[in-house]
């Protein structure tokens, strides 16, 4: 009996040793120069370039510790940049590609990939690799370092899912959705025009030292009996205002027709330095045949509007976000 127990213990120890040797020897066969995808010091990254097989390119350049510029003309969406930096730092090899799948994986990466170049201050990238398709279980992506012919299945520790969606190349998906982002004191004036009922329109001007002017846009008449606290609370709404998305589902002809329509609202924010930001809102037509519970036609979206930012950027906004901004002049009067 004791002999059998001893034999079992020895077998367990030998099995454990074999597994250990297998794992350590297996991992040692992966050369670091072929599998070193990560850049641990992401704070030193100054520029990131992405390109896909459809010739879509993304250039992200660091402006400061938290702000990045997109394609030399836009502010990049910060959460998207953070997600990319996270995977750049934490990406690691999950497994080598099995011999039976090797040729197929190489062909697929060659035919469809996103190339990433990572710069750390110089004009020459410190790291270049190709991001391919996900594995069958969607637990990682096949990647290939530039100059190597050996792909690997990569993943990110602590994250379940594949990594490809973080390396996207649609410019609009990288663009910041921020419209207004003002701290108290950065706004000189806000003018809101209601085109349907002009008597609702108003202009608030910050005169300094918590003193304001409230005027009717319709007749330029000064309103004396207004609530200063309500005015201050209103200006604070412009601290963080975002649009929902770009309109990418409609043709240019449809978008142009919307732009030519009479806007519902005109918002003009004048900054303390004299710069202005303008926003026009438009009704967003519903899909043909849309009806309410009683079968009545619903001609326009009840949750969203179209908006034109600075006469150039056409986006979708939510009533939920903008209803607090669409005040009327009466809302600032005392007793309302």
State pLDDT tens for residues 6-62. 433 433 433 333 333 334 444 445 566 567 899 999 999 999 999 999 999 999 999
* Cβ atoms of 266 and 195 closer than 8 Å: yes
Side-chain-side CA neighbours of residue 270 (13 Å): 11
The confidence score (pLDDT) of residue 31 equals 62
- Which stretch of DSSP H or E encloses residue 232? helix 228-236
Provide the token pair at 77. 């969406």
What is the arithmetic mean of pLDDT over 134-153? 89
CB 39 within 8 Å of CB 126: yes
- What is the residue-averaged pLDDT of the chain? 88
CA angle 65-70-73, nearest 5°? 115
322 vs 138, which has greater pLDDT?
A: 322
User: Tell me, what DSSP letter sits at residue 175?
Assistant: B
CA neighbor of 281 nearest in space, from 262, 302, 303: 262
What would the mean pLDDT of 127-148 be, rounded to a whole number?
A: 91
pLDDT band, residue 336 (cuts 50/70/90)? low
Mean pLDDT of 307-330: 96
Residue 322: which pLDDT band, with cuts at 50, 70 and 90?
Answer: very high
Q: Does pLDDT of 301 surpass 70?
A: yes
């Amino acid at each position: 009996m004791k002999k059998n127990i001893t034999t079992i213990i020895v077998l367990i120890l030998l099995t454990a040793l074999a597994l250990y040797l297998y794992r350590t020897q297996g991992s040692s066969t992966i050369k670091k120069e072929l599998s070193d995808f990560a850049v641990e010091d992401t704070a030193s990254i100054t520029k990131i370039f992405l390109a896909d097989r459809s010739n879509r390119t993304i250039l992200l350049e660091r402006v400061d510790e938290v702000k990045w510029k997109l394609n030399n003309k836009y502010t990049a969406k910060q959460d998207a940049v953070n997600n990319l930096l996270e995977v750049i730092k934490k990406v690691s090899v999950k497994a080598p590609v099995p011999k039976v799948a090797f040729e197929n994986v190489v062909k697929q990466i060659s035919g469809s990939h996103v190339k990433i170049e990572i710069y750390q201050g110089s004009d020459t990238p410190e790291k270049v690799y190709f991001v391919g398709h996900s594995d069958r279980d969607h637990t990682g992506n096949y990647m290939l370092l530039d100059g190597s012919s050996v792909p690997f299945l990569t993943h990110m520790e602590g994250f379940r899912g594949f990594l490809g969606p973080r390396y996207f190349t649609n410019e609009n998906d990288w663009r910041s959705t921020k419209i207004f982002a003002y701290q108290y004191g950065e706004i000189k004036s806000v003018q809101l025009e209601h085109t349907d009922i002009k008597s609702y329109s108003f202009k608030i001007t910050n005169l300094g030292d918590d003193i304001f002017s409230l005027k009717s846009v319709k007749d330029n008449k000064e309103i004396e009996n207004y609530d200063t606290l309500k005015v201050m609370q209103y200006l604070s709404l412009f601290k963080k205002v975002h649009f929902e998305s770009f309109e990418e589902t409609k043709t240019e002809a449809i978008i142009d027709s919307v732009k030519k329509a009479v806007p519902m609202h005109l918002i003009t924010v004048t900054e303390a330095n004299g710069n202005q930001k303008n926003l026009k809102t438009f009704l967003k037509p519903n899909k043909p045949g849309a009806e309410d519970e009683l079968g009545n036609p619903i001609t326009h979206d009840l949750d969203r509007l179209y908006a034109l930012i600075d006469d150039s950027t056409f986006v979708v906004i939510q009533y939920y976000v903008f209803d607090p901004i669409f005040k009327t002049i009466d809302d600032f009067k005392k007793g309302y």
